[in-house]
Structure 1
Amino acid sequence: MMPFCCSFTPSSASISKFISDQPYLTMIDKHCTTMKDLQKIHANLIKTGLANDTFAASRILAFCASPAGDMNYAYLVFTRIQHPNLFVWNTIIRGFSQSSTPQVALVLFIDMLISSPVEPQKLTYPSVFKAYAHLGLARDGAQLQGRIIKMGLQSDPFIRNTILYMYANCGFLSEARQMFDEDMESDVVAWNSMIIGHSKSGEIVESRRLFDRMQFRNTVSWNTMISGYVRKGNLREALRLFGKMQEERIEPSEFTMVSLLNACARLGALIQGEWIHRYIMKNGFELNIIVTTAIIDMYCKCGCVEKALQAFEAAPKKGLSCWNSMILGLAMNGCAEESIHLFSKLLSANLKPDDVTFIGVLTACNHSGMVDKARYYFSLMTKKYMIKPSIKHYSCMVDVLGRARLLEEAEELIMSMPVNPDAIIWGSLLSSCRKHGNIKLAKRAAKRLIELDPNDCCGYVLMSNVYAASSHFEEAMEERFSMREKRIEKEPGCSLIEVDGEVHEFVAGGRLHYRAPEIYSMLNALGVSLQETENV
């Protein structure tokens, strides 16, 4: 078959006729929903020779570069197109700009500038600026903005919005603000970009000020504001804003639901989390991997492991993140055996564990004192799966060794780490020294901890506790006096818990809660019971 080469821009009527004359091309538009479908059609196009036609190949490429496609396959298709036209270039650049490897979009754009007779047009540039935004390369993107100005494209709304998004997303708020203020008719996309930028930079008050000024808000506006509150830790305000969203009858998206589930998880707000889960089911949200993981995580962090397991088992598709969340959730809730069993099931399901999976299983070993199993899984991670241990993996190992009185081995592991030990690891060893009364090793750990940050109270407080636990009260007081002389203050910790639908906040040592007398009475009774248990 003679290949059909486009040297002109075909009309929509001629495109429609060409597609209707080719049944396999019609199938791409009407019946192709997965890459498996696409590959069957592509094989037939190759057999008939139609795959050599630029237009036909561009239809294959367009599907591969869509959310249902595969960018690796898209690139293979692209490399076999001998004379890519503007649509082909735009499609492949756009696909990579939205992928996990946006740097490829920049490489392709440069290749287009240098080696292709096809010049980039106004529809090419938004994808390039998106790639710069996702890579955090606003300074490089600013150079491309100069080219836009020379070409007279600076007033194009799509290009302006993506440049504004690039600056805002990369934290270049003054540049973003300048562009935003210059345009007297900024659309909702520009407003959302400014809200995102301020939110990511921690300026949540300014985000809310912009949000309240908007004449028209879409779902992205609400999602951005809610997720901004969650990221900032203002979890109650996130839930209140969702209530307002409901009052205004704005349909939330799955991103809204994930942000709210994260808020409930961090608040320990089980009743609200259950309501959101029911809302998701009632309103027909897709239970994709991200939503399912957020549901599991919420139930685990609210201490409701049974419902987390139900959500896990009922999931239509279990991604690795679902398994990881469930394994870690079981471990954190004292279900070590169940966590390890689930890890074994993951391996049996031919899924490859990642670094997060091993944090979960090592946490299970840590909380249950399984030293030998912790050693086994740490070795499995490094030797079989070739995963480089992070500071979190080492922290789990130091903790489990410390709990088992293997303090010297824990110190040796810290000193042999290829990464610099952090305050958490030295603090963990110091806590174990307090528990087991090893003052000599505690002094070394406290020294290292204080060297990391001389103004942090952690080393002084833990060392004081070590002395006090060993009845060295004079030395314990000296540590406290040293803190006072250096004007180092200990910030009280706080925790949140939901009871009967109401979230209560507690500050360490605080007695302002209206039920404080009952709480401390129960706490003292539990302390006595624990001491009696340890003495048995």
Structure 2
Amino acid sequence: MKVACCTPDINVPCLGIPGTRFGSQEALFFLQKCTNLKKLKQVHGRIIRFGLTYDQLLIRKLIELSSSFGKLSYATMVFDQLNVPDTFTWNVMIRACSISGSPKMALLLFKAMLSQGFAPDKFTYPFVIDACMASSAFDFGRVAHALAIKMGFWNDLYVQNTMMNLYFKCENVDGGCKVFDKMRVRNVFAWTTVIAGLLACGKLDTAQKLFERMPSKNVVSWTAMIDGYVKHKQPIKAFNLFERMQADDVKPNEYTLVSLVRACTEMGSLRLGKKVHDYAFKNGFELEPFLGTALIDMYSKCDSLDDARAVFDMMQVKTLATWNTMITSLGVHGFRDEAISIFEEMEKKNETPDAITFVGVLSACIYMNDVELAVKYFNLMIYRYSITPILEHYECMVEIYTRAYRLEEIYTLGNTMESNHDVAELLRRKKLTSIDDIKKLILKQYEDLDFSDLVLDHFSSSSGVQIDINQTSK
């Protein structure tokens, strides 16, 4: 058996006094106390030293913890040291890959498991099917479905529900419905899965009929149907269903209220939005990121920025989406200085911005007519945060240069432009018909004259402006 090169630090307090007994129970106790990879490696070193690598319970715990610390490579190394992992350990490793953002590796492990003669159990297939959905490997998912039937696990509710999810995600409505129709036992989770799947595929009427047939409903099924109405732009029906939900004495959760807030946003009803907010407050709902961000968006779009800012200031935990929503809301309503101030506060909190953040920031710079500030943030985005500019960023920069009558500087943007179609679309949208400036911009990006012709042709055909590049070069 392979042994990891890991020297334990026996002086670390969490590992006890040197010379004392260190068995499987002690190792498991210390593993459960690990809060980072360094401590885990120390405990792992002792597991190796005391010959406990045969204990697959400990190995599974090592895999789970190291993957939860974002160190899937370490988890893989631990797994690879086992000569004969049992099915449970295979399952843990497959699941770790799937939830750690490596679903393709999970599928490779499943193939290795089969090829080495290890028999999957009823827990293996849901993990594998989840990996298929995460990697869009729908054909492989159908193979896993066939194997589950062949191996006798078809009647397992967990396997069936996961298979329904797979079919609906690949928009195979018939496949998902067939799985549901063949189920001998249907719990509330199965009913909710098929309803949510139908709603995701745009089958609102079918989902509604199934919902009415449900023998029992819980908060998840009610919320799924409410959210379906909102997404299909039927907010009144969403509120009617919420009233029925309350009449049935089913208490809403945060997701229910977020769906209702979005319904208010869809209707542009500040009055209803405040009612939902008041309901949340009176019923003890905290302003968690999901609900708080939805309220900020609703208040902003209903022209009540003071309420949006009040919600933002009250939130104890803010996600990137929260910051972005507040920055964009302030910019849209003309509070550009405040939008920049929120961005600066965001940086102080060590929250890393994304491309959407800078769309909001650059938009604020436009209406402040501050070219230098826009250039500063455009460069900050590229060079500090390594964010590749998207079309919306270029649109903002072209707009601010145009407003400042500094068209000669637009061509400098060509240093970062990558797509000829994006450039042409940008020019078309902003109606920059000055031939000299267009030519500067295009030729700066594309030194090859033939390629430049292609871009200009695309621009002229999409904008209706005929450009003769030979004439412009005279």
Question: What is the TM-score with the length of structure 2 in the denominator?
Answer: 0.75
> 1:134/1:220 Cα in 2 relative to 1: closer, same or farther (>3 Å)?
farther
Residue aligning to 1:221: 221
Q: How far apart are residue 39 of structure 1 and its match? A: 6.6
Query: What letter corresponds to residue 103 of structure 1 in structure 2?
Result: K
- Give the root-mean-square deviation of aligned CA atoms: 3.7
Residue aligning to 1:280: 280
Checking the alignment, whether the CA contact within 8 Å between 2:62 and 2:78 is kept in structure 1 is no
> 1:264/1:402 Cα in 2 relative to 1: closer, same or farther (>3 Å)?
farther
Checking the alignment, whether the CA contact within 8 Å between 1:167 and 1:176 is kept in structure 2 is yes
5+ residue gaps, structure 1: 4-18, 434-446, 453-458, 464-536
1:109 equivalent to 2:107? Answer no
How far apart, in 2, do the equivalents of 1:412 and 1:204 lie?
A: 50
1:36 equivalent to 2:35? Answer yes
> 1:385/1:45 Cα in 2 relative to 1: closer, same or farther (>3 Å)?
closer
Q: How far apart are residue 204 of structure 1 and its match? A: 1.8
Residue aligning to 1:477: none
How far apart, in 2, do the equivalents of 1:423 and 1:247 lie?
A: 56
How far apart, in 2, do the equivalents of 1:206 and 1:395 lie?
A: 43
Alignment of structure 1 residues 56-455 onto 2, 5 Å: 56-62=58-64, 69-70=68-69, 72-73=70-71, 76-81=74-79, 82-83=81-82, 84-98=85-99, 100-115=101-116, 118-183=118-183, 185-285=185-285, 287-404=287-404, 417-419=417-419, 420-421=421-422, 425=426, 428-430=429-431
5+ residue gaps, structure 2: 4-21, 434-456, 466-474
Checking the alignment, whether the CA contact within 8 Å between 2:389 and 2:416 is kept in structure 1 is no
Q: How far apart are residue 201 of structure 1 and its match? A: 1.9
How far apart, in 2, do the equivalents of 1:318 and 1:364 lie?
A: 21
How far apart, in 2, do the equivalents of 1:415 and 1:140 lie?
A: 43
Query: What letter corresponds to residue 340 of structure 1 in structure 2?
Result: I
Deviations along 1:32-55, whole A, 9 cap, x unmatched? 6xx737975774464465773421
Q: How far apart are residue 427 of structure 1 and its match? A: 7.0
> 1:134/1:388 Cα in 2 relative to 1: closer, same or farther (>3 Å)?
same
Aligned positions, number:
416
Q: How far apart are residue 100 of structure 1 and its match? A: 4.6
Query: What letter corresponds to residue 106 of structure 2 in structure 1?
Result: A
Question: What is the TM-score with the length of structure 1 in the denominator?
Answer: 0.67
Q: How far apart are residue 412 of structure 1 and its match? A: 9.2
Q: How far apart are residue 404 of structure 1 and its match? A: 4.4
> 1:324/1:192 Cα in 2 relative to 1: closer, same or farther (>3 Å)?
same
Q: Comparing 278-287 with 78-87, which one deviates more in the overlay?
A: 278-287
Deviations along 1:35-82, whole A, 9 cap, x unmatched? 7379757744644657734212323444666xxx44x23652352142
Q: How far apart are residue 95 of structure 1 and its match? A: 4.0
> 1:303/1:423 Cα in 2 relative to 1: closer, same or farther (>3 Å)?
farther
Residue aligning to 2:439: none
Deviations along 1:426-483, whole A, 9 cap, x unmatched? 67525x99xxxxxxxxxxxxx979955xxxxxx89xx9xxxxxxxxxxxxxxxxxxxx
Query: What letter corresponds to residue 137 of structure 1 in structure 2?
Result: A
How far apart, in 2, do the equivalents of 1:422 and 1:241 lie?
A: 47
Q: How far apart are residue 253 of structure 1 and its match? A: 2.2
Q: How far apart are residue 394 of structure 1 and its match? A: 2.5
> 1:242/1:408 Cα in 2 relative to 1: closer, same or farther (>3 Å)?
farther
How far apart, in 2, do the equivalents of 1:412 and 1:426 lie?
A: 14
How far apart, in 1, do the equivalents of 2:398 and 2:384 lie?
A: 21
Deviations along 1:482-521, whole A, 9 cap, x unmatched? xxxxxxxxxxxxxxxxxxxxxxxxxxxxxxxxxxxxxxxx
Q: Comparing 416-425 with 227-236, which one deviates more in the overlay?
A: 416-425
> 1:382/1:96 Cα in 2 relative to 1: closer, same or farther (>3 Å)?
same
Residue aligning to 2:25: 22
How far apart, in 2, do the equivalents of 1:25 and 1:280 lie?
A: 42
Checking the alignment, whether the CA contact within 8 Å between 1:398 and 1:414 is kept in structure 2 is no
Residue aligning to 1:8: none
Query: What letter corresponds to residue 87 of structure 1 in structure 2?
Result: F
> 1:57/1:185 Cα in 2 relative to 1: closer, same or farther (>3 Å)?
closer
Secondary structure at the counterpart of residue 318 of structure 1: coil
Deviations along 1:167-224, whole A, 9 cap, x unmatched? 0122100111222223354333332222222211222222212212212222221222
How far apart, in 1, do the equivalents of 2:269 and 2:359 lie?
A: 25
Residue aligning to 2:450: none
Secondary structure at the counterpart of residue 386 of structure 1: coil
